[in-house]
């Protein structure tokens, strides 16, 4: 018992910094945000109270639910597009490239994260503007000009700027760890390439793919830059709604309600995704 107690104290000692970090920078701010969601604003000043007026105000307004469902939809759409677009590149890196080529490719995919996401987003202005690079190229073949800024398309492009490199990296790492003999066995048994991907590669990559899609969704769902600067806030997402709410009479408690709803949604989707990612197929031993 004494030895077991010493081991527990030793383990707790090493876990303590992580526990304190989570308490100070995650649990504490979340609790604070929940508390201020019950405050009221009078004469542009927050007053301590315990009233549900902010929750009633936000959850009974159509504009909140319009923003909520739009944010959920466009984040899901961008995550799906990122996963689909990333797959061919990830496949080539995992099964066609050498180990050295794969390392360099992953390194080059990480480099964009060294620069500010805001700077990368603003660079799309030059490309997507009506007199920009993309419309100039399309003009040579008699197409355009097309309006791409301040549209849903612009928002998706911004989201992909943020999520696509991450999707390629995670998919590549996942598929590179697949036992290649299983793919060779499927081909020897007459399995066609698409069938091999569907029946062998995707089931073996399920966990990594779901985690990659989850990360893409989380980043897009909480992103403010792309829908604001490239989407033009045509349909405000929840992050933009938070900004607008704080500007409207300093309504921080109502903004806290929106933020709590965002976090509740992300927690629900994240836990569901993790359960699906690590759930074992029926008939397998625990």
Question: What's the pLDDT tens digit per position in 165-187?
Answer: 999 999 999 999 988 888 888 88
* More reliable by pLDDT, 8 or 17: 17
* More reliable by pLDDT, 257 or 51: 257
The confidence band for 3, taking pLDDT boundaries of 50, 70 and 90, is very low
Return all residues near 57 (Cβ < 8 A) that are at least 6 apart.
254, 257
What is the per-residue pLDDT for 7?
55
Residue 283 has pLDDT above 60, yes or no: no
Q: Tell me what the pLDDT averaged over the chain comes to.
A: 89
Q: Which of 245, 251, 234 is nearest to 71 (CA)?
A: 234
pTM score of the predicted model:
0.88
What is the per-residue pLDDT for 286?
46
The full set of domain ranges for the chain reads: 62-278
- What superfamily in CATH does domain 62-278 come from? MetI-like (1.10.3720.10)
Question: What's the pLDDT tens digit per position in 203-236?
Answer: 999 999 999 999 999 999 999 999 999 998 878 9
Residue 107 has pLDDT above 70, yes or no: yes
């Amino acid at each position: 018992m004494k030895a077991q107690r010493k081991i527990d104290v030793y383990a707790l000692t090493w876990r303590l910094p992580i526990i304190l970090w989570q308490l100070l920078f995650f649990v504490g701010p979340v609790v604070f945000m929940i508390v201020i969601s019950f405050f009221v604003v009078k004469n542009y000043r927050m007053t301590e109270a315990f009233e549900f007026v902010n929750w009633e105000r936000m959850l009974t307004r159509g504009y909140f639910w319009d923003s909520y469902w739009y944010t959920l939809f466009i984040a899901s759409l961008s995550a799906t597009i990122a996963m689909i677009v990333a797959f061919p590149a990830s496949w080539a890196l995992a099964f066609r490239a050498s180990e050295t080529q794969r390392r360099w490719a992953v390194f080059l995919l990480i480099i964009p994260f060294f620069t500010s996401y805001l700077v990368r987003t603003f660079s799309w202005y030059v490309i997507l503007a009506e007199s920009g690079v993309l419309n100039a190229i399309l003009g040579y073949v008699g197409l355009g000009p097309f309006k791409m800024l301040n549209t849903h398309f612009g928002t998706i492009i911004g989201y992909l700027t943020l999520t696509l490199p991450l999707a390629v990296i995670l998919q590549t790492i996942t598929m590179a760890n697949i036992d290649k003999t299983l793919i060779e066995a499927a081909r020897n048994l007459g399995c066609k390439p698409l069938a091999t991907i569907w029946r062998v590669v995707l089931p073996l990559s399920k966990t990594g793919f779901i985690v990659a899609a989850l990360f893409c969704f989380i980043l897009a769902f909480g992103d403010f830059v792309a829908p604001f600067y490239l989407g033009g806030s045509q349909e405000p997402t929840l992050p933009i709604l938070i900004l607008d709410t704080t500007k409207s009479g300093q309504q921080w408690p109502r903004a806290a309600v929106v933020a709590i709803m965002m976090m509740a949604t992300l927690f629900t989707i994240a836990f569901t995704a993790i359960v699906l990612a690590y759930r074992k197929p029926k008939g397998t031993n625990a």
